[in-house]
Structure 1
Amino acid sequence: MDEHNQEQENKPLEFNSRVDLTKLQESVEQIKSELGKVIIGQQDMVELLIISILANGHSLIEGVPGVAKTVTAKLLAKTMNVDFSRIQFTPDLMPSDILGTSIFNVKTSEFEFKKGPLFSNIILIDEINRAPAKTQAALFEAMAERQITIDSMEYDMQPPFLVFATQNPVEQEGTYRLPEAQLDRFLFKINVDYPSLEEEIQILESKHAQKNKDVESMITSVLTAKQIATYQETIKEIIVEDNLLKYIASIVNNTRTNANLYLGASPRASIAIMDASKALAAINGRDFVTPDDIKKVASPILSHRIILTPEREMEGFTAEKVVQQIMETIEIPR
């Protein structure tokens, strides 16, 4: 009996997750595996886009042309068995071009509403900063309220409804700066950099091996709309300790009192950090959030929500640098 008790004491304690994350993790790995058939590198962008799906948030992808922003978002949508629309924003794009319009039906002598491309599940908007204010306002309502209003009628967007938008930070001609309120509706602003030399060699080798093969045909759907809804509900069950909620609030509050910043982040940023860190914890198989989860998602959540003072901007400061300084200032909970 004593020997049995001794054996029990020597056994390592097993960690039992209070939330079953097995299927969620498997789905995420399948998505990454599918994208890995075509996309070389860009792991951070892929992971943040997956987090935005799980946290039910929109993402803005910024990078120079040719770094696989559009193709990654498009192929990610292909891994999900949901409706997909791609809209190219241009300076002459009108709200009716994306929302739809009422058309007179001669047979019934009534107007019928024909839905536009925005009525989909995953929306990829290329060069979002090229459309004029009217069109941005129409998109803004859909992003913020997940509904649109036309001719005094409200139309709900069917879940999941997620916007992935791209923009080029270099070219400014013929572009319109996105309003702060609209930027605030994006969960993440994902900065996409050039690939490393090794990755670029892999890209060339992969492209050479593909020959004329259609890359989209290489991707298989692994998620349904129902599964996405289930996983989004699962994320809400992830535990966040009180000291970590205080940590998140302290980070965001510091942006409002920071001498380097003209505009700080709103409470929406705090909620975004909490939701995104929950999703990151779940992807890693944990039913609880750690300070590292918060630190990893803080920069892509805060950098587009804060504005530097003119002096700091002239000195070459960046929003990312200020967020990094804030993270180093706030004491990490133990």
Structure 2
Amino acid sequence: MSAVTKALKIAVSGIALSALTLGVANAAVVLKLAHFAESGHPADVAAKQFSEKVSERTGGEVKITIFPANQLGSPNDVLEQNVLGAIDMSLPTQGHLSKYSMKFATVMAPFAFESYDHVYRVLDGPFIKWAASDLEQQGLVYLSNWDWGFRNITNNTRPVNVPSDVVGLKLRTPPEVQLQSAMSALGANVTQLAFNELYMALKQGVVDGQENPLSVIYHNKIYEVQENLAITRHVYNSMVSVISKSSWGKLSPDQQVIVREESKAAGDLMRKMMREEEGELIKKLEAKGMKITYPEQAQFKAEMAPAYKAIGEYVGTENLEKFLGML
């Protein structure tokens, strides 16, 4: 082999090695974001914006792949995987997060909030400062608050106008103590069912009714198997945008700023969509045949003493008093 040929081979090898090294240096960080909302739900629309904006602002160096509708497991399973770092990002509710910090359980105290503006002022201000460090101790970084909405009661037995109309109704709730105790305080017979079993249980009359935000009632077609909807707005909770600390550590400081900013922007979009959608959803649900009532909230709130006692025992009196002091 001539000296010239050898020199050329060395040069070509050097170029290839440099290209390989550059490729490794510029390899995209790919993050998996799993959530439980259906495709097309405002949460999913917001998640897609989040993904697009992060990719755009980082020049493709950070990519977010979205897995909606429990594709990677139930909300609790996804959150556990997120804590362990097996899933990078998720959108749990305060109910899911309460397993890791009781501070989050306080948010779901019944009739705590007067309006969406009231919610945002508390959650984005004193609450996030109070609770963020608890998540960091569990291996999560608290990015921002998204939305889920105020919860309302549906049933097939009778319209709900006053608290006594709830007495004796067999209502399905999620396993959160706050929701169970609120419905029990109104005299309902509370039943736990997995959400994927709820539609059929309502259709077959296994339970009389359930409670959820309007977006869930509409997007999951609960209106097909429920006749009455009462706009009680008894509990608010939201999705919380979190990322595992191990995944967070893969990002440069500039990338972390972008991810946090775009998480908040996505949450703001979801909030805007949910608020704008509420009036339209009520009209759509009426058009689907639901009979809608607007109970006086003060009458229902007056029945909540047993619920607050149970919630205080569950979350700790100090935590509950701290949260109520933020309102």
Q: TM-score with structure 1 length normalisation?
A: 0.23
Choose between structure 1 and 2: higher helix proportion: 2
Whichever of the two has the greater Rg, that structure is 2
Choose between structure 1 and 2 for higher RCO, CA contacts under 8 A separated by at least 6 residues.
Answer: 2
